[in-house]
Chains A and B, each alone.
Chain A
Amino acid sequence: MRHEETVIWFGTGPMSALPSALAWPLWSLLALLGIVIIVYSHQRTLVALTSARRVILTILRTLLWLALMLFLAAPTRIERTHTDDSSKRPLAVLVDRSPSMGVPDQRNKTRLEDAAARWGNLEKEALKTFPKIEYFRFSTTLSPERSLDAALAGESGPANTYLYQSLGEVLAKAPQGGWGAVVCLTDGFDTQSTRNETDFVNKAISANSPVYFLPAGNLTTTRRTMDVREIEIPRNVVQKTSFTWRSVIRSFSDRNRVVTVTLSKKGNVIAQEKLTLGKGDRTIIWSTGVQADETGRIPFEMTLEGDDGTKTTARATVLVSDNQSVRIFYYQGAMGWGYRFLAGILREDPKFRMSSAFHLARKTDIEAFGSSPEAVGTNFHDDELEKLDVVILDGVSSSQLNGKEQQALEKFVRNGGSLLVMATDCGDKGGFAGSPLEKVLPVSFYNTPPDPSLSKKTTQWKRMFSSISVRNGQDAGIPTERMRLTDEFPAKPGMASPEFVNYQLFKDKKPGAEVLAVHSRDNNPDTGKPAILMASQQYGSGQSCVLATDSLWHWKLSQPSQSGEAEIFWQDLLNWLVRTRRNAPVFDHPPIGSIQGLPVTIRIRAANPESVPSLSVEGPDQKTQPCELKNAGTDGIWEAVWTPDQTGDWILIAKDEKGLGSEHLLSVEKQSSPGEFNPMPPDEEKMRKLAEMTGGELIRNRIPLTWSRSDTLENEASVTEIRKPLWHRGWLLAACLACYGTELLARRRWRML
């Protein structure tokens, strides 16, 4: 306990809020001004006074003024009582001096330097909370050090890290009441048994000493690495279609290197590319188109081979089927010839089964001509849409579909269906602008054309021109243009671009949508980009696609019957739209690799919320075992935790009640040796969990919030402050009154009042 007394000015009163640098000059000025006014006013009294009387009155008034100014200055005595600092618990800081902390990365910086620099910034803050810091260094043995610099100095220890054992030793040395905190500067590797993890946690709890980890912030690995982080492919595709193999590759190297990416199908190389990867940490996406020619479970292998000898492999499988029919419903909102020509095209491939309905323009009656037993009416609702794979809306405006129908279509797409909208060629209609269905579609629509006068003018001359040109049969020809297909279009080599006559101007594509075809000449006046003629986007589990024209039948009619251009285009487009089969559960971001004996979490997205999928795993020994799935609490998401018990390729099979399903290949390897030079970055998540089990946390670039709070609480508890105003005295008030009374009496006597 320590007492301390100090006297301060302006401790209370109106000027106490001001800083002393401002309070004193202000106070002095005020006092001086008062004295000047007193002297000046007593020099020019209304009644003639002798010099002696004038001096007496001036002195009395000045004394009174100075007394008042003393009250304003408010001298205050502060009595502080401090508790003894020795009651606080010290902080222990452990520095990992194992060799892995001293290996430089491509920037020539070590993990030790990184951790030391970050702790150096926090040390001063820590000292406000803890009375003292005790330092230790460790690798295989623990030794105390005088300071941080001493702990950082010298050579690294032997090529092993006994992290948890060292922490246990420090905790065993805890003073009475435990350490205020234990901070460990480490990369988290421990080359001993993981049993020590639980030992040190128990010791920390027993010692009432929370442990904090400061991970060596060297996110880059210490050696050259390369691995495939993710493979995105459809798990089920239809034969004779193409799909995109998309993989995420992460690479670390201290120099530039050339990596050869090879994709093989059933052992045959189908794509190969050399990538130049810069030094440092790089994450790139590599994709290529793949043809699904043959049916069955098709194995793919992707190999990455660097020019420095690094090599890694990832595998995946795709189920290719041919017996799945594509069920299409064609709804024509305004009578046109699109259906006739598309139906003729699709008739050539029995896989396509198309039913239809037509809306007679300017009439309200709707006639259904569907000859297929699966034909549905135009009252779109869930049960009927469930039987379909693709819905084509040709020349349909949003006013022809009521809210419920649009919601049913939205749900249809969200659950895996495909929607193809062939826009009305009528420029003065808003299409689907502002409708519930617009959010499903990959483009936004104009409510009104951007320049109606332009539209009208263009329409007039075109109508006039066309009405004349059609009279001349000899060399007549309706002017058509070819679309410009973009790289996003799933075109087969040699596929021709469709020809069209008219198109509807879309406002813009939506974020995430892919533009498949654009106009070769016309630009959108608002965006300045080429006018969009075809676009698609993933929506939920399904896909939507818009076509800015429904006049593609002109193309079919203008092509020789042997050309097959239009046939290839339409069949490929529809196959592509249904390439990911609906109604089948799919894996949700499945891992592509795992470690033998470690649990793997597998998530499955059911085709719809009502569906209950099942999961089974087929091991490298061809034996299949079921896995228990639990509802993850999110609509349609199911989860299973499974531990592979042998190395090799495992096939995960997800199915629903109808037997529709998808597969995923998981490569299981032996647990990698936790050697000292493990190239993996620090496992911060593990460190965080362990720290939290002891009451501590992970320290990054600021001290823990609990330290700041405890610092404040400690101060409040250790310091007692009492403020006593010194001017608040009775005699001082009496003296003031005496001065003032004397002055009044004198003025009365000298006939000034």
Chain B
Amino acid sequence: MKTRMNEHGFFVPDTISTTGSKGSCRLVAALLACCALAPALLAQSDPILATDVPGKNFSLAYIKYEGGSYHHARGEMLAHEEQFLPNLLESLRNKQGLDISDRPQIVKLGDKGLFDSPVFFITGHYRFPIGDREIDQVREFIKRGGFVYIEDCGGLDQYLKTYGSFFEQMHEVLQKAFPEGRFVVLPKDHDIYKYPYLFPKGLPNFFGKDNDGSPPDTPGKIRKHKGGEGFYVGNVMVAFLGDADTCCGWSGRSLCGDQPFKMAANVIIYAMTHGGL
């Protein structure tokens, strides 16, 4: 597959750089669906011997939205969709043995499809338009037992000053969804840093390392790394908010090796092994 570097310095597949190619993908998907449907109809009366299809299997929902980073850093966001998240899912399948779909389920916060996955992931740089309906949907998702995984992707100072921070917006969304909830900076000995991989110093800061190898908290970045945060409703941690740019480490060419994949595995497995609301 051909790749090219986008305006933000991320390597993205060449075929997803235009809307035309995206349309082609959908056409191919539709054709595949037709092909798949024929045997499905034929096999409808057969007993289903379950294997790793949805059910036992699960998928990771990826939240796509209008505006915000999808406007100012579209290529990077599409890279998350098409490359980074599949890399993570492959890692979770192959290294952690999780029975997870190989493609993320791309949904919007207002979609019904949000409730097909037990966990959704959202990332970005800048604020995006979000209404009360979407906030209610987040609340409902969490109340049904779902888990929210939020990663800050940083952003350029000039845009952050102009448009505001995505990460701060997510704090506001969660607080609005659950006014009684509270944010807690997770201690270094929290379970999420222990299983299955040990992170003795808490959440590592991967920020910037994916791009140019610069050390964390490079001058020019708008905020400092303070570690992973949990959003608690009662005693239940319903969301994890990471400010370490872990998701960009899933590009496969991260200078941090497989650490971003391991941290993500810890988050997912924490969600699986602790009760929801």
Contacts and interface: CB of A to CB of B under 8 A. Distances in A.
Contact of A470 (B52, B96, B101): B101
B51 A467 contact: no
B96 A454 contact: no
Interface string B93-116: 000111101111111100111111
A339 interface: yes
Interface string B38-75: 01100101111111111111110100100000000000
Given A459-B53, A505-B49, A553-B145, A560 B140 contact: yes
Contacts of A554: 54-55, 116
A622 interface: no
A460 B52 CA distance: 10
Contacts of B57: 466
A428 B202 CA distance: 40
Contact of A461 (B43, B140, B196, B276): B43
Contacts of B236: 344, 347
B116 A344 contact: no
Contacts of B272: 335-337, 339-340, 358
B191 interface: yes
A404 interface: no
Interface stretch (A181-189, A245-253, A519-527): A519-527
B205 to A, nearest CB: 26
Contacts of A449: 49
Contact of A339 (B99, B140, B143, B275): B275
B36 A335 contact: no
A473 to B, nearest CB: 3
A307 interface: no
Contacts of A522: 46-48
A525 B98 contact: no
B29 interface: yes
Interface stretch (A21-29, A475-483, A650-658, A734-742): A475-483
Contact of B46 (A358, A363, A454, A549): A454
A503 B48 contact: yes
A288 interface: no
A473 B55 contact: no
B64 A473 contact: yes
A638 interface: no
Contacts of A426: 50-52, 56
A contact residues, range: 35 or more
Nearest to B106: A473
A468 B27 CA distance: 11
Given A501-B55, A502-B48, A505-B47, A360 B96 contact: yes
A553 B195 CA distance: 23
A367 interface: yes
A344 B54 contact: no
Interface string B247-277: 0000000000000000000000101111111
Interface in A332-384: 332, 334-337, 339-344, 346-347, 356, 358, 360-363, 365, 367, 369
Contacts of A424: 56
Nearest to B60: A470
B33 interface: yes
Interface string B110-140: 0111111010000000000000000000001
B35 to A, nearest CB: 8
Contact of A455 (B35, B49, B59, B104): B49
Nearest to B51: A459
Contact of A361 (B55, B98, B118, B143): B98
A425 B51 contact: yes
Nearest to A466: B54
A297 to B, nearest CB: 36
A500 interface: yes
A424 B52 CA distance: 10
B40 A465 contact: yes
Contacts of A343: 274-276
Interface residues of B, number: 63
Given A340-B276, A470-B105, A461 B40 contact: yes
B199 interface: no
B273 A468 contact: no
B268 to A, nearest CB: 9
B274 A369 contact: yes
Contacts of A553: 118, 145
Interface string A496-510: 000011111100000
Contacts of A361: 96-99
B53 A502 contact: yes
Contacts, number: 224
B97 A500 contact: no
B116 A477 contact: yes
Contacts of B147: 340
A497 B112 CA distance: 21
B55 A551 contact: yes
A553 B274 CA distance: 14
A58 B252 CA distance: 127
B196 A558 contact: no
A335 B96 contact: yes
A457 B39 contact: yes
A473 B108 contact: yes
B196 A477 contact: no
Contacts of B37: 465
A467 B98 contact: no
B61 to A, nearest CB: 8
A525 B48 CA distance: 11
A455 B97 CA distance: 22
Which of B111, B116, B274 has the most A CB atoms < 10 Å from its CB?
A: B116
Given A426-B52, A523-B47, A369 B273 contact: yes
Contact of A464 (B36, B43, B49, B195): B36
Interface string A540-563: 000000000111011011111100
Contact of A335 (B64, B97, B102): B97
A124 interface: no
A552 B105 CA distance: 20
A342 B273 CA distance: 11
Nearest to B276: A344
Contact of B33 (A454, A459, A465, A557): A465
Contact of B107 (A356, A476, A501, A560): A476
Contacts of A425: 50-52, 55-56
B1 interface: no
Given A551-B56, A560-B140, A340 B116 contact: no
Given A471-B106, A476-B105, A557-B144, A358 B47 contact: no
A87 interface: no
A462 interface: yes
B265 to A, nearest CB: 10
A340 B48 contact: no
A549 B108 CA distance: 29
Nearest to A363: B97
A290 to B, nearest CB: 32
Contact of B277 (A335, A344, A362): A344
Contacts of A501: 50, 53-56
A36 B249 CA distance: 123
Interface string A439-474: 000000000010000110111111111111111111
A334 B57 CA distance: 11
B32 A427 contact: no
B146 interface: yes
B273 A356 contact: yes
B103 A467 contact: yes
12 contacts: A343-B275, A367-B195, A462-B54, A465-B37, A469-B33, A473-B108, A475-B112, A476-B112, A478-B116, A502-B56, A522-B46, A558-B115
Q: Which 4 A-B pairs have the closest CB atoms?
A: A343-B275, A501-B55, A473-B107, A502-B50
Given A340-B118, A424-B56, A454-B47, 5 more contacts: A458-B46, A469-B33, A473-B64, A473-B107, A474-B111
Interface of B: 29, 32-33, 35-37, 39-40, 43, 45-59, 61, 64, 96-99, 101-108, 111-116, 118, 140, 143-147, 191, 195-196, 236, 269, 271-277
